[in-house]
C-alpha cells in the first residue's frame, strides 16, 4: 500500500510539473517578439523566423542574411536551457549579438514561451 501511494505521488508530481508552464500564456508572451519574429511561417522580419526553433542550431536560417558574427560562431543549439539564458538577457548571454530586446526577466514568462514553442514542434 505504501508503495502504491509513493507511485501515485510520484506520478502526480511529474504531471504537476508538466502543467506548470502555460502554453496559452506563452503565446501571449510571444507578442513581445512579434515586431521582429514570425513563428508560424518561414518569414523573416527584423529577426529570423522561429519555425522549429526547439532543436534548431543557432543562425541556421539560410534565407536570413543579417545574423551577427557572434551568433554564427556561438555553437548554440536552441533548447529549453539555451533559450532560457538568451531570452533572460540576450546581450549578456551573447556578447556582440544583435537582438535588440531587453529580455524576459520573469522565469515564468520564459518557461511559458518555451512551452509555447515546444507545443508548435
Ligand atoms: C527588436 C527586434 C527583436 C525582438 C523584439 C526580438 N528579437 Fe529575437 N532576434 C532579433 C534579431 C535581429 C536576431 C538575430 C540576432 C543576431 O544575429 O545576433 C534575433 C535572434 C533570435 C533568436 C535566434 C534565432 C536563430 O536563428 O538562431 C531567437 C531564438 C530569438 N531571437 C527569439 C526571440 C524571442 C523569443 C523574442 C521575444 C521574447 C525575441 N526574439 C524578440 C530581433 C528581435
Query: How far is the C-alpha of 47 from the C-alpha of 53, rounded, in Å?
Result: 13
Q: What is the pLDDT of residues 53-110, one digit of tens each?
A: 999 999 999 999 999 999 999 999 999 999 999 999 999 999 999 999 999 999 999 9
- Total domain count, the chain: 1
- The residue range of the domain holding 92 is 22-120
pLDDT of residue 31: 98
CA 15–ligand 1 middle distance (angstroms)? 31
Atom of ligand 1 nearest to the CA of 72: 17
Question: Left (φ > 0), alpha (ψ -120 to 50) or beta: where does 78 sit?
Answer: beta
pLDDT above 70: residue 15: no
Domain assignment of residue 4, yes or no: no
For ligand 1, pick from 99, 102, 113 the residue to mutate: most ligand atoms within 8 Å of CB.
99
Domain assignment of residue 40, yes or no: yes
pLDDT of residue 16: 47
Short-list 78, 79, 75, 99, CA closest to 89 = 99
pLDDT above 60: residue 49: yes
Amino acid at each position: 500500500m505504501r508503495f502504491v501511494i509513493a507511485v501515485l505521488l510520484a506520478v502526480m508530481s511529474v504531471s504537476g510539473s508538466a502543467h506548470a508552464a502555460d502554453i496559452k500564456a506563452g503565446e501571449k508572451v510571444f507578442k513581445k517578439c512579434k515586431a521582429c519574429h514570425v513563428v508560424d511561417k518561414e518569414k523573416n522580419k527584423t529577426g529570423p523566423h522561429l519555425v522549429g526553433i526547439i532543436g534548431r542550431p543557432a543562425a541556421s536560417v539560410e534565407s536570413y542574411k543579417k545574423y551577427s558574427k557572434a551568433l554564427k560562431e556561438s555553437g548554440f543549439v536552441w533548447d529549453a536551457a539555451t533559450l532560457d539564458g538568451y531570452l533572460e538577457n540576450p546581450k549578456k548571454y551573447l556578447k556582440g549579438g544583435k537582438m535588440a530586446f531587453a529580455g524576459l526577466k520573469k522565469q515564468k514568462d520564459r518557461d511559458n514561451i518555451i512551452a509555447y514553442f515546444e507545443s508548435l514542434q
